[in-house]
């Protein structure tokens, strides 16, 4: 009997909860995928919670709403998938605080309650368990990237363009991965705040603006970009406060200039990371919501000379790759298997990732 695992994922854009039903026996594949949109009201509450992570009453209220939404969506997904036997569910939570130095990973979504209400095994705290082993808690998805690509020759390098960019590649047949910096997060922030749209479709807004070169150089001088790997980042570092500092200093009052400059920050920081990678293969697969931004994709391909591939093994695609990864992590933890290559996150040794809730 095939063993079915569900992975649940919500990116920094908070557009939706993504559900992947996967089976990893013999032929690793995605069986069913579905997204459930998050209401603007709940999205606003989550974003407020991100700005006030220590407000306990706000956290409790938001956590309860998020948890009920997960349970409701999970029930619908199980009916939609027509699968009765599910071994376990992997859910990493919606991140509010990610601080590897203090071993803090605060997320939304009560795993214990989800397990109790669904009568299913739920596995989470993946990042926290890595931090407890001395790691950054991220990036984790590259372990899954290697798993689905093991028999692929040449290896397909994967660039995940979520709120932040994660780069997975092989050099000298060694798997390497890290966060390169912002991808969509700052661009979406500007799109929402100044253009009243959720994101910059195909980079059309950025293409209309004139880049402020001095501001761009200053942004690229952020110490994170020269930091040694392993490294990870998020909205704790690159956020509205960070952006406002440059906006005020360089008088970026023109909104078109602002979005053009920040889009270029994404393009150059990612391209620089790729060009310093000494790749075994020239093939790249774009994942995450940012893979739909044709402007950013074309600029990265132009600057790096890589060849885009539109498909990866196992029926996985740009939208379902991350939620499928957490179905796989759930399987690994359910089977009691350790995750090797601890150097990816800086952990001390191979370790079991995740906590099991029943």
Q: Which of 3, 2, 4, 6 is nearest to 324 (CA)?
A: 6
Whether pLDDT at 111 is above 80: yes
Residue 295 has a pLDDT of 98
Cα separation, 154 vs 282, in Å, equals 8
What percentage of the chain has pLDDT greater than the value 70? 99
pLDDT over 80 (residue 28): no
The string of DSSP codes covering 273-302 is HHHTS--S--EEEEESGGGG-HHHHHHHHH
- What is this structure's pTM? 0.94
Domains and CATH numbers, the chain: 4-135+317-357 (3.30.420.40), 153-311 (3.30.420.40)
Q: Which residues contact 211 (CB under 8 A, 6 or more apart)?
A: 257, 260, 261, 264
Q: Which two tokens stand for residue 61?
A: 């209220």
Q: Name the pLDDT band for 76 (thresholds 50, 70, 90).
A: very high
pLDDT tens for each residue of 218-256: 999 999 999 999 999 999 999 999 999 999 999 999 999
Q: Is the pLDDT of residue 317 over 90?
A: yes
Confidence of residue 69 (pLDDT cuts 50, 70, 90): very high
């Amino acid at each position: 009997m095939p063993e079915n695992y569900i992975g649940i994922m919500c990116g920094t854009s908070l557009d939706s909860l993504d559900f992947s039903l996967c089976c990893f026996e013999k032929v690793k594949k995605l069986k069913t995928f579905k997204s459930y949109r998050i209401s603007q009201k709940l999205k606003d509450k989550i974003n407020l919670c991100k700005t006030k992570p220590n407000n306990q009453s706000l956290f409790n209220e938001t956590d309860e709403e998020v948890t009920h939404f997960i349970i409701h969506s999970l029930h619908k997904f199980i009916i939609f998938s027509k699968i009765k036997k599910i071994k376990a569910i992997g859910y990493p939570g919606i991140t509010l605080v990610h601080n590897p130095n203090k071993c803090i990973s605060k997320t939304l979504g009560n795993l214990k309650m989800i397990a109790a209400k669904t009568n299913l095994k739920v596995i989470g705290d993946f990042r926290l368990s890595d931090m407890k082993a001395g790691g950054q808690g991220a990036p984790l998805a590259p372990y899954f990237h290697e798993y689905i690509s093991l028999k692929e020759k040449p290896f397909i390098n994967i660039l995940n363009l979520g709120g932040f960019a994660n780069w997975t590649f092989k050099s000298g047949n060694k798997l390497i991965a890290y966060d390169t910096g912002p991808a969509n997060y700052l661009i979406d922030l500007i799109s929402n705040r100044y253009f009243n749209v959720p994101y910059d479709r195909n980079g059309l807004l950025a293409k209309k603006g004139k880049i402020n070169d001095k501001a761009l150089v200053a942004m690229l001088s952020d110490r994170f970009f020269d930091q040694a790997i392993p490294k990870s980042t998020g909205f704790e570092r690159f956020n509205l406060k960070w952006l406002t500092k440059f906006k005020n200093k360089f008088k970026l009052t023109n909104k078109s200039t602002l979005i053009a400059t920040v889009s270029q920050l994404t393009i150059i920081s990612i391209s620089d990371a790729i060009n310093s990678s000494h790749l075994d293969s020239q093939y790249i697969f774009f994942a995450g919501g940012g893979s739909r931004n044709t402007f950013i994709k074309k600029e990265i391909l132009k600057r790096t000379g890589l060849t885009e591939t539109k498909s990866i093994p196992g029926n996985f695609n740009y939208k379902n790759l991350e939620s499928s990864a957490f179905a796989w992590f759930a399987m690994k933890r359910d089977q009691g298997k350790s995750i090797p290559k601890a150097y990816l996150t800086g952990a001390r040794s191979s370790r079991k990732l995740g906590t099991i809730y029943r």
